[in-house]
């Protein structure tokens, strides 16, 4: 199905040996097809002093959240690639996939798709909760998630088909984040999105943005039953940044099969 919205994708740091550039370009192209922005660095100075990782590169690694670690005989022989990997593995909150470049293109492109799924979110919410949704979407984009939002659908397009298409994208490539409130409980669109996402096996993460007992009691029976077995995050009565930190950590730690 063709993609119908164009959210900004994640910057994904690709750690690799320049001797593997042909295969690494395939990874770059796959990430770009999935809507992301791969970062491929090759610093000439590293040839002269492979034991010294420039401060600029270290700072770039610290500033990023998503990584592809390309494993090969060339990368294992490179002191600076191994230093990159050491830094990435040691930093808390970084998400990475190790790609065996000698394991065949299908194997490593699946790893690329796997990381893409973990960096992609479809946001389902009542339009009456747009202010909260915008804050959450902006914060997720700061963490370099690719966020689908129904309000990015172009005027004049088939709204229902566009939403279905966006959910399909999220199912194939990421999470469906449902903002639950009394407004959402009254919204047939949110209920339809949840039902559709559940029916096709999406990874759904419920987030309560109102009084939890009231919100849960107000949800229609089928929606409440569908979400009952899922772990949810309660934003009510909490500082926004504290709740967002917990949400981001939940998403980063939760795997997508």
Higher per-residue pLDDT: 166 or 232: 232
Confidence of residue 196 (pLDDT cuts 50, 70, 90): confident
What percentage of the chain exceeds 90 in pLDDT?
Answer: 36
Q: Does the predicted TM-score (pTM) go above 0.95?
A: no
Specify the domain boundaries for CATH 3.40.50.10140 within the chain: 11-116, 120-253
Q: Is the pLDDT of residue 4 over 60?
A: no
Q: What CATH number does domain 120-253 carry, 3.40.50.720, 2.60.120.260, 3.40.50.1100, 3.40.50.10140?
A: 3.40.50.10140
Q: How many CB atoms lie within 10 A of CB 247?
A: 19
Confidence of residue 210 (pLDDT cuts 50, 70, 90): confident
| Mean predicted confidence (pLDDT) in 118-129 | 89
| Mean predicted confidence (pLDDT) in 202-206 | 83
Q: Is the pLDDT of residue 42 over 70?
A: no
Burial class (CB in 10 A: 0-12, 13-18, 19+), 14: buried
The pLDDT of residue 246:
94
Mean pLDDT taken over the chain? 83
Q: How many CB atoms lie within 10 A of CB 21?
A: 13
Terminal CA-to-CA distance of the chain, rounded, Å? Answer: 21
| Mean predicted confidence (pLDDT) in 65-74 | 96
* Residues 133-153 pLDDT 10s: 999 999 999 988 988 876 655
Top CATH class, 11-116: alpha beta
């Amino acid at each position: 199905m063709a993609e119908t919205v164009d959210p900004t994708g994640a910057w994904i740091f690709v750690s690799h040996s320049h001797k593997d550039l042909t295969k690494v370009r395939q990874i770059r192209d796959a990430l770009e097809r999935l809507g992301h922005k791969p970062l491929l660095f090759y610093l000439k100075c590293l040839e002269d002093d492979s034991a010294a990782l420039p401060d600029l590169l270290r700072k770039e690694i610290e500033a990023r959240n998503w990584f592809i670690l390309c494993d090969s005989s060339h990368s294992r022989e490179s002191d600076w690639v191994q230093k990159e990997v050491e830094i990435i593995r040691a930093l808390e909150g970084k998400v990475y996939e190790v790609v065996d470049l000698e394991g065949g293109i299908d194997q490593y492109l699946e790893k690329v798709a796997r990381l893409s799924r973990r960096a992609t979110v479809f946001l389902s919410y009542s339009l009456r909760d747009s202010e909260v949704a915008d804050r959450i979407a902006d914060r997720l984009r700061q963490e370099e998630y690719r966020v689908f939002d129904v309000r990015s659908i172009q005027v004049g397009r088939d709204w229902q088909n566009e939403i279905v298409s966006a959910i399909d994208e999220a199912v194939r490539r990421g999470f469906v984040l449902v903002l639950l409130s009394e407004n959402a409980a009254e919204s047939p669109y949110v209920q339809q999105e949840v039902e559709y996402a559940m029916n096709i096996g999406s990874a759904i993460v419920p987030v309560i943005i109102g009084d939890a007992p009231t919100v849960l009691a107000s949800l229609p029976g089928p929606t409440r039953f569908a979400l009952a077995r899922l772990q949810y995050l309660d934003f009510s009565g909490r500082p926004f940044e504290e709740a967002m930190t917990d949400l981001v950590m939940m998403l980063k730690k939760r795997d997508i099969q």
